[in-house]
Amino acid sequence: MATVHKFDVEAVTCHAWNKDRTQVAISPNSAEVHIYRYVGKSWVKEHTLTEHTQRVTAIDWAPNNNRLVTCGVDRNSYVWNFNGDKWEPSLVVLRINRAATHVKWSPQENKFA
């Protein structure tokens, strides 16, 4: 049976779970990415990632090194590293002339496409 999770957003463009599914990254159809943690019996928003200037279209969470990669309509991609108390972005220049609509880590988690 599927589990229904509720967040304080109207629409979710994309999402990604961490390795043990205690955290989820979602984009609420905007340029932001919200990181939620499951505490007790509810989801609590812990972080908001705001580097994109237009709608985020894809998120992937690397299960072993705990890094996020996001891409969006702004034709940018960011790799996010968690440093203990906040997520640090690194801009990756994509040489494309259209929106980036999907992103996925490689099996070794050292590259993405």
Distance between CA atoms of 46 and 80, rounded to whole angstroms?
Answer: 15
Which of 3-7, 95-99, 107-111 shows the lowest mean pLDDT across its residues?
Answer: 3-7
Strands 42-49 and 56-61: unpaired
What is the model's pLDDT at position 94?
Answer: 80
Say whether 17 sits in a helix, a strand or coil: strand
User: Does the pLDDT of residue 1 top 70, yes or no?
Assistant: no
Residue range 10-31: mean pLDDT, rounded = 94
Distance between CA atoms of 59 and 101, rounded to whole angstroms?
Answer: 10
**Residue 109 Ramachandran class (φ > 0 left, ψ -120 to 50 alpha, else beta):** left
Q: What does pTM read for this prediction?
A: 0.90
What are the pLDDT digits (tens) for 60-79?
999 999 999 999 998 899 99
What are the pLDDT digits (tens) for 98-109?
878 899 999 999
Q: Residue 50 is encoded by which pair of tokens?
A: 């705001």
Distance linking the first and last C-alpha atoms of the chain:
32
